[in-house]
Structure 1
Amino acid sequence: MRLGICYKAFDTRKTWNEAAAACGEDGGTLTMPRDTETNAFLISLYKSVSDSMNFLFGLHDRREEGLFEWVDGSALGTYNSWGPREPNNAGGFEDCVRYHNDKWNDGRCDYWPAGFICHSVPAQWEGCPRPPLYAFMNVAVQTNPRSAPPGAGWTSEALCR
């Protein structure tokens, strides 16, 4: 748990739409890295799952091109971590955002499957992760997130130790 939020990174490749649906089925939403610290935490989280994949998160400009908003409907705000020449809406179809080389990159919502990161507050997921867990730098992680059942594998700080 980081600042009262539990996170889970999936190395299953899905489109942005499929990833958003999968997070919802598991009781959460695609995550929203709204500040430098959360962004750095999420990068370290997804790298612990896969160092070679892109990872989707909950930012898009589907309503109006160039006006990015989070999946909760709030505006992007002042913080961002766009890669060089991003967002670029290449081909006119790039409305959903992913991590690419640790930077934000707009991509197609219905194409280019990637890993994804969900989040929720513990009350939505009925508490923190359950064993088997190990602790590393005050973070609890399911030992085998790739084979974990739905609802397992959440990464947390503080309250979930």
Structure 2
Amino acid sequence: MQFSDTNLAPTLEGTKCYRRHNYVVVEKKLGWNEAKVNCESLGGHLADIKSLEEEMFIENYAIQSHAENALWIGGTDVQEEGTFLWLDGTKLDDWYTNWNSREPNNNNRLSQPENCLLIEMVEGTWKWGDASHAYKCKSLCEFN
């Protein structure tokens, strides 16, 4: 891991920078809890997306080559069902949201609650959905 001179955020291979925040896709497929711990062990956190501009940057520069995959981001409603919070404790609804239609729905075929947030390609557009913490996918880490 290297640090850039301008903002002290780590620079990992494949890192993309937006407004002094760096983003990197972790290729290893993990459950949400493991992805959270992994990003923290790298010195960051699962990404939060708090504006349309930030999401557009992430879509166009950080995750554009990962359209076949869902990626974990840092939201959860584990504290109160239906109230999604970013890992910093702020409500998603107080910022920007990009839910897929009929999401969040806390509904899966395995009868496990869907308390964790991911971003995935749906009919050619990146959208957010909730999924079980046990689902394994890539993740998007953010470094401030």
TM-score by length of 1: 0.70
Equivalent residue for 2:39?
A: 23
Two-structure CA RMSD over aligned residues (Å): 1.2
The residue correspondences of 1:81-120 to structure 2 (distance < 5 A) are: 81-90=98-107, 91=111, 93-101=113-121, 102-109=126-133, 111-120=134-143
Question: C-alpha distance in 1, partners of 2:67/2:120?
Answer: 11
Question: C-alpha distance in 1, partners of 2:19/2:95?
Answer: 20
Equivalent residue for 2:64?
A: 47
Question: C-alpha distance in 1, partners of 2:64/2:135?
Answer: 19
Structure 1, unaligned stretches of length 5 or more?
122-161
Runs of 4 or more, structure 1, over 2 Å off, are none
Cα-to-partner distance string for 1:105-154 (whole Å, 9 max, x where unaligned): 00011x21111011112xxxxxxxxxxxxxxxxxxxxxxxxxxxxxxxxx
Sequence identity percentage: 29
- Residue 80 (1) aligns with residue 103 (2): no
Cα-to-partner distance string for 1:83-104 (whole Å, 9 max, x where unaligned): 0100001046000010121100
Aligned residues: 119
Q: Give 1:51 deviation, angstroms.
A: 2.4
Question: C-alpha distance in 1, partners of 2:18/2:95?
Answer: 21
The residue correspondences of 1:125-140 to structure 2 (distance < 5 A) are: none
Question: C-alpha distance in 1, partners of 2:81/2:131?
Answer: 13
TM-score by length of 2: 0.78
**1:38 is matched with which residue: 51, 54, 64?**
54
Q: Which has the higher helix share?
A: 1
Higher-Rg structure is 1
